[in-house]
């Protein structure tokens, strides 16, 4: 499998602040490249160093990074947000992109199993491969890998910062947000 390396094309970055800490988003001219979640409680300086180490040419904002950062700020404050933003798919395999598209279709606050996603993309025996794609997802929340659980509904690994506790926090927040919005419209 090819290793995802878009660092040379990543030119733009923006930051977003939440009650949990500061996060960041990186993009190329083609679309979003990576999201740095705020679960570490990190300050701006720490996230800036992390992004600079991985993407040395990303030193200014673009319309896309500003838009993504604004949406992530709203998301982490509990708003129901749709992330219809371009994604730089360079370096993704056809399989990974199929998985990510299926995962992006899962509504907020809902979950699907690895095996269900495997069946949905026409690869019913690829549940472990779905797990591998989730572990390499560079765009957590945008590609909501936290919405994928084990076949029995059990929380399984989460490679983004904070691990399973972060995954559970995101799902709980989404369920509350979705419930609020149903109450407002119902």
At which of 30, 47, 76 does a domain end? 76
- On whether both 100 and 22 belong to a single domain, the answer is no
In a domain, 5, yes or no: no
Q: pTM for this one? A: 0.88
In a domain, 87, yes or no: no
Catalytic residue at 145? Answer: yes
Domain total in the chain:
2
In a domain, 7, yes or no: no
Inter-residue contact 177 to 108 (CB < 8 Å):
yes
- On whether both 40 and 101 belong to a single domain, the answer is no
Domain that holds residue 145: 94-185
Q: What is the pLDDT of residues 31-50, one digit of tens each?
A: 999 999 998 778 999 999 99
> Per the residue annotation, which of 145, 160, 170, 171 is the catalytic one?
145
- On whether both 110 and 65 belong to a single domain, the answer is no
Give the residue with greater pLDDT, 74 vs 3: 74
In a domain, 88, yes or no: no
Give the residue with greater pLDDT, 180 vs 174: 174
In a domain, 1, yes or no: no
In a domain, 57, yes or no: yes
């Amino acid at each position: 499998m090819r290793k995802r390396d878009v660092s040379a094309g990543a030119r733009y970055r923006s930051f977003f602040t939440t009650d949990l800490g500061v996060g960041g988003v990186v993009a190329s001219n083609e679309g979003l490249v990576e999201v740095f979640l705020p679960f570490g409680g990190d300050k701006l300086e720490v996230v800036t160093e992390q992004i600079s180490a991985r993407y040395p040419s990303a030193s200014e904002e673009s319309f896309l990074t500003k838009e993504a950062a604004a949406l992530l700020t709203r998301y982490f404050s509990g708003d129901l947000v749709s992330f219809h933003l371009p994604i730089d798919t360079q370096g993704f395999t056809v399989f990974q992109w199929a998985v990510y598209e299926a995962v992006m279709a899962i509504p907020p606050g809902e979950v699907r199993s690895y095996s269900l996603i495997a069946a949905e993309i026409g690869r019913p025996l690829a549940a472990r491969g779905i797990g591998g794609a989730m572990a390499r997802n560079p765009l957590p929340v945008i590609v909501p890998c936290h919405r994928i659980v084990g076949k029995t509904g059990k929380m399984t690994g989460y490679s983004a910062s904070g691990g399973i506790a972060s995954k559970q926090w995101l799902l709980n927040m989404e369920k509350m947000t979705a419930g609020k919005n149903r109450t407002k419209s119902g």
